[in-house]
Every structure is written in C-alpha cells, then in structure tokens.
C-alpha cells in the first residue's frame, strides 16, 4: 500500500500549510486513535510530546481533539526529546506515542511522528493503514466513551532519571567540563540537568527557546556556536543535539567535529572488544562513509547498510538481532538502552569511553580516515521527476562506470523536502568532483528549481 502522507520520518511540512494544518492533525489523530483502540478495553492511552516550536501548541490541541473523539485518553508531556516519547510510551503502557517535531528543520516547519506500544516507530504498513482510515469515514466514540486529556508533570523527570542509569556510575564526570548545545529545542532542560547530576561542570547553550529560534545558529546542524564555546571555555567535550535531541555530533577539546560515523565506529570497536556487539555488525545507511566500512572490516566486523532513515536502521537491527546502528547525521540507536536515536544517551556513552580509557575526546573521536565524500542537495519544482529523465539516467550510468572499484554514488529523493540528494565518495577527490558536477548539471537541466 503506497503512503501519500507519511514520509521517511512521519508527516512533515510547513506549519499551517498542507499537511501541517490543524484540520489534518485532527483527522490524523482520529484515524490513529481508531487504528490503536483495543476492542473490549476502556483504558486506551496515548502520550504526546513536542519540541519548542510555536506551532506545537496548535498541533498538540488538534491531535488531542482527534484522539479523544475516538475514545483515546491523552497524556500530554510538554517539551521532551523524541527518545523520551519512545521510552515513556512503553514505560506508561500506552497504545501509542506521538512526537510533534520537525527535528533539525527550521522553526516554520513541524512534523508528527508515531510510536507503537513497544516504543518503536511505526512500520510503513501501519502508517499506510492509518492513511487508509483517514480516507474513509472515521467512526467517533459514543458520548460516554469520549477520551480525557491531562498534563503529565513528571514525564521529563522520568526520562532524566532513566538517562542517568545508562551511564556506568554516579559522579564520574566530576572535574569534566562539558558544553552542551540543545538547539533551543526539546532537550533544553533534560540534557544540562542529566550532565550536571552526573557530576560535570556544564556550559549550556541553546537553552532559551522562544518558539521561533529552534536550530537557529545552534545545534547539530550549525556547530560553529558550540565549537567556539568549547574552545573559549577550555571544555573537555562538546555535545551538539538537534531540535528534538534524537541526533548528536561530538566536538573534541580542540574544536574538531565528529559525525555519527566516527561515533558509531568508536562504540562498535569498544563493544566488540567487550563482547557486547551483537551479531558482529553495525547497521547504518547508504550514506555512511566508505571509511567506516573499511574500519569495521579491518576488525572482522560487518557494516549492514539500509536506505536512509533511522526507522529503517532500527527495522534492520530488530530483524537481525543487532544492538548498534545509526546514521552519519548523528542518529545513534542503542537498543540495549533506547528504541530510537538518542543524542543525549549517545553523548553519555562517549563520555563513558573517555572516563574508562582516560583518553581525550580528540583521541576517541577520530577512529578512521574518511574517504572523500561530497553531498549536493538540489531543489526541484513541484510535479517534476528529474531522476526519471533519460538524460539524467545516462549521466548517472556513465558516472557509476567511472567509479567502479574506486568509489560509489547514492542518489535519492528526500523524504521530507523537494530535494534530490546526490552523494558520492571516492579515494580520488578530483574524479569525484568531476562526476558529481556532471550529475548536478543534468538534474538541473531536467528539473530546474521552482
């Protein structure tokens, strides 16, 4: 069944424009409520979290109206990280979890992500079935069965306490100075609190959300602010989160940034040595660097690749019984601890490695030399399908032939924006630039930006 509304990570778009309108959110909530109601039981509950965008209030109210109209009881968490919603959905025995967030996107955007009762994101099949319900007549609950809604004041505290338990010891961060950039987003309270309670000297930035400044000149998509703070403050480490705190980048004491590939390489190597890496493999997407794959192979480990999207990483992890996966962008999924990417808990695991080895962040954050990689994002006009053009297909085929045995290409449509993402990597950076320039030119000629 083809999904029309859901993308690679829920439903996403500009607030107050289709599909991120109050009307659609209400209907989506009603459809999800109807899908998850369990026959013969009266206590149907859903937890809803959000980030700090102004439009979160509108969508939260609309979803609540739709859900309660079908008999779901709604528990409102307020601003919490996305992984907290996954954790609390399972912990509070809810039928459904919802996170209102557009993650790393600008404040004008928003999105709706769904979690099942096990705390994992919904499958493509489940999302398709919810869409099918939306297209029909949604049966409301009888008046006496309409759901209730209430605020849950201790949801954030529950997550904070849980996050601390993933760190192997209390007070072990004493004497460590940590910059944490919360992107003016969902972790603006949780992340500094966890680090401080574990003993660190915390320098928080991006902790003054106003509804409009999420991800603005801060967070994992703009590391300059945190880099400057790490260097100026003489910090041991910088932890850069995105707007909903499900991804992280690490900044070493010299101001150098480590992406998700380097973080996963560190964890995989350590876990394998300790006998904790299940299946002898790390799961990552097609976007992860070839250098990571070579690093793992050199240690007798495998890289299992999936299509882009942390949900697909998690699906493969569950299918194969693996416990470590993620994305180059900084989603780090550790199913021994969490059901989705968790930037804060990944940051704690990096700090744990520093404490246990006595090594600096710079020694741990550079596990392999990346193969030269370039990513070009090309916006295209509505209604266009540039990758279907014969001229584009021919140029891509020629480029792939030139890179055989020397590199690789990944060319795909974005699941959240009208973009074609053209990624290539090769040991020969000059060759790589030439083939990517040719592909970009062909795509732009076939479908110029609107």
- Per-residue pLDDT, 257: 98
Confidence of residue 384 (pLDDT cuts 50, 70, 90): confident
Identical fold between 158-166+174-254 and 373-446: no
Identify the architecture of domain 158-166+174-254 in CATH. Answer: 3-Layer(aba) Sandwich (3.40)
List, by residue number, the catalytic residues.
103
Q: Please say if the pLDDT value at position 141 is more than 50.
A: yes
Residues 6+ positions from 179 with CB-CB distance below 8 Å: 203, 204, 205, 226, 229, 230, 233, 235, 237, 238, 239, 251
Q: Please say if the pLDDT value at position 38 is more than 60.
A: no
Higher pLDDT, 106 or 385: 106
What value does the mean pLDDT take over residues 126-149?
94
Confidence of residue 448 (pLDDT cuts 50, 70, 90): confident
Q: Domain 11-153 - what CATH class?
A: alpha beta
What value does the mean pLDDT take over residues 105-134?
94
Q: How far apart, in whole angstroms, are the C-alpha atoms of residue 354 and residue 364?
A: 8
Helix (H) or strand (E) holding 323, with range, is none
Chain-wide mean pLDDT for the chain?
94
Q: Please say if the pLDDT value at position 415 is more than 90.
A: no
Q: Calculate the CA 415 to chain-centre distance.
A: 13
Q: Please say if the pLDDT value at position 391 is more than 80.
A: yes
Q: What predicted TM-score, i.e. pTM, was given to this entire model?
A: 0.91
What value does the mean pLDDT take over residues 97-121?
96
Give me the CATH topology for the region 373-446. TATA-Binding Protein (3.30.310)
Q: Please say if the pLDDT value at position 56 is more than 90.
A: yes
| Range in 32-36, 185-189, 207-211 with the lowest mean pLDDT | 32-36
- Per-residue pLDDT, 450: 61
- Per-residue pLDDT, 41: 58
| Residue 243 CB burial class (10 angstroms; 0-12, 13-18, ≥19) | buried
What value does the mean pLDDT take over residues 252-259?
98
Domain boundaries, given as residue ranges, for the chain: 11-153, 158-166+174-254, 258-364, 373-446
What value does the mean pLDDT take over residues 319-334?
97
**3.40.605.10, 3.30.870.10, 1.20.810.10, 3.40.120.10: CATH of 258-364:** 3.40.120.10
Question: Taking the alpha carbons of 79, 84, 85, 89 in that order, is the dihedral positive or negative?
Answer: negative
| Range in 259-268, 329-338, 406-415 with the lowest mean pLDDT | 406-415
- Per-residue pLDDT, 40: 47
Q: Please say if the pLDDT value at position 419 is more than 70.
A: yes
- Per-residue pLDDT, 37: 79
Give the three-state DSSP class for 191. Answer: helix
Confidence of residue 134 (pLDDT cuts 50, 70, 90): very high
Q: Please say if the pLDDT value at position 57 is more than 80.
A: yes
pLDDT in tens, 342-372: 999 999 999 999 999 999 999 999 999 999 9
pLDDT in tens, 162-199: 999 999 866 689 999 999 999 999 999 999 999 999 99
What value does the mean pLDDT take over residues 427-433?
92
pLDDT over 90, % of the chain = 86
Confidence of residue 205 (pLDDT cuts 50, 70, 90): very high
Per-residue tokens: 228: 């400057």
Q: Please say if the pLDDT value at position 22 is more than 50.
A: yes
- Per-residue pLDDT, 308: 86
What value does the mean pLDDT take over residues 295-305?
97
pLDDT over 70, % of the chain = 97
Confidence of residue 151 (pLDDT cuts 50, 70, 90): very high
- Per-residue pLDDT, 416: 65
Confidence of residue 417 (pLDDT cuts 50, 70, 90): confident
Higher pLDDT, 60 or 170: 60
Q: How far apart, in whole angstroms, are the C-alpha atoms of residue 412 and residue 443?
A: 12
Q: In what order do the strands lie in the sheet with 324-326?
A: 302-306, 281-285, 324-326, 332-334
Residue of 92, 106, 105, 108 lying closest to 49 (CA atoms): 92
Residue of 244, 236, 275, 284 lying closest to 410 (CA atoms): 284
């Amino acid at each position: 069944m083809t999904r029309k509304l859901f993308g690679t990570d829920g439903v996403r778009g500009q607030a107050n424009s289709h599909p991120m309108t109050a009307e659609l959110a209400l209907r989506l909530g009603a459809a999800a409520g109807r899908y998850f109601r369990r026959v013969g039981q009266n206590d149907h509950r859903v937890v809803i979290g959000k980030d700090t965008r102004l439009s979160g209030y509108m969508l939260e109210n609309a979803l609540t109206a739709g859900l309660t109209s079908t008999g779901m009881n709604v528990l409102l968490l307020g601003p919490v990280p996305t992984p907290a919603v996954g954790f609390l959905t399972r912990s509070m025995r809810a039928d459904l979890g919802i996170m209102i967030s557009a993650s790393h996107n600008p404040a004008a955007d928003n999105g709706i992500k769904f979690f099942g009762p096990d705390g994992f994101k919904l499958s493509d099949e489940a999302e398709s079935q919810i869409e099918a319900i939306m297209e029909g007549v949604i049966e409301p609950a009888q008046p006496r069965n309409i759901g209730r809604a209430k605020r849950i004041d201790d949801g954030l505290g529950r997550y904070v306490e849980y996050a601390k338990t993933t760190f192997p010891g209390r007070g072990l961060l004493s004497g460590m100075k940590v910059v944490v950039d919360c992107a003016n987003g969902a972790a603006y309270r949780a992340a500094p609190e966890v680090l401080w309670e574990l003993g660190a000297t915390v320098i928080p930035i991006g902790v003054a959300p106003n509804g409009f400044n999420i991800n603005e000149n801060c967070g994992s998509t703009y590391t300059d602010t945190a880099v400057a703070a790490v260097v100026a403050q003489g910090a041991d480490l910088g932890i850069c989160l995105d707007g909903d705190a499900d991804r992280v980048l690490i900044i070493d004491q010299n101001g150098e940034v480590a992406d998700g590939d380097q973080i996963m390489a560190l964890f995989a190597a350590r876990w394998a040595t300790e006998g904790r890496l299940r299946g002898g493999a790390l799961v990552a997407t097609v976007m992860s660097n070839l250098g990571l794959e070579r690093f793992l192979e050199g240690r007798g480990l495998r890289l299992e690749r999936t299509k882009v999207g942390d949900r697909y990483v998690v699906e493969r992890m569950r299918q194969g019984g693996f416990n470590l996966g993620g994305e180059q962008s900084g989603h780090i999924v550790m199913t021994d601890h969490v059901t989705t990417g968790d930037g804060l808990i990944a940051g704690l695991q990096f700090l744990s490695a520093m404490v246990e080895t006595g090594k600096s962040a710079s020694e741990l954050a550079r596990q392999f030399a990346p193969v030269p990689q370039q990513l070009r994002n090309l916006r295209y006009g509505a209604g266009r399908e540039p990758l279907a053009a014969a001229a584009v297909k021919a140029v891509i085929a020629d480029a792939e032939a030139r890179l055989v045995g020397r590199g690789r290409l990944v060319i795909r449509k974005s699941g959240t924006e009208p973009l074609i993402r053209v990624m290539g990597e090769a040991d020969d950076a000059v060759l790589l630039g030439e083939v990517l320039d040719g592909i970009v030119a062909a795509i732009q000629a076939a479908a110029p930006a609107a």
